[in-house]
Amino acid sequence: DVKVTQSSRYLVKRTGEKVFLECVQDMDHENMFWYRQDPGLGLRLIYFSYDVKMKEKGDIPEGYSVSREKKERFSLILESASTNQTSMYLCASSAGGAAGDTEAFFGQGTRLTVV
């Protein structure tokens, strides 16, 4: 059974803290993604990675950074958490290549509250 696992389902952090959200996939996928989900805005892409140590900014990268040292793991870092980063964070992975399997698989999400 394919799986994308996010380290926490719920997280509460204080303003100014450095926050790490971890995501691990077991499908040997090249692509990994971090999305933020807010009501009425859908899913917005923060960062994505198409290979180890490679990263690309998405639509809303400000205030976030990422790390991908190993193929299976993609970390999202909030350098100094702020209340406007309170949200649901979803990690996803997909195979690379135009001719390959195109389905993206998602983790169960981390609901982050910054107080």
Partner 1 sequence: AQTVTQSQPEMSVQEAETVTLSCTYDTSESDYYLFWYKQPPSRQMILVIRQEAYKQQNATENRFSVNFQKAAKSFSLKISDSQLGDAAMYFCAYRSLVQGAQKLVFGQGTRLTINP
* Shortest CB 89 distance to partner 1, Å: 11
Q: Which two tokens stand for residue 50?
A: 């198409």
Q: How far is CA 42 from CA 17, 35, 45, 61, in A?
A: 26, 10, 10, 16
Shortest spacing between CB 25 and partner 1, in angstroms? 14
Contact (CB, 8 A) for 25 and 105: yes
Q: Which of 56, 70, 80, 82 binds partner 1 (CB under 8 A)?
A: 56
Query: Binding mask 20-49 vs partner 1 (x if CB under 8 A, - otherwise)?
Result: -----------x-x-x----xxxxxx--x-
Q: Is residue 94 part of the contact set for partner 1 (CB under 8 A)?
A: yes
How far is it, in rounded angstroms, from Cα 20 to Cα 6? 11
d(CA 38, CA 35): 10
SS3 at position 23: strand
Confirm or reject binding of residue 58 to partner 1 (CB under 8 A): yes
In the complex with partner 1, which residue's Cβ is closer, 48 or 64?
A: 48
CB-nearer residue toward partner 1: 15 or 102? 102
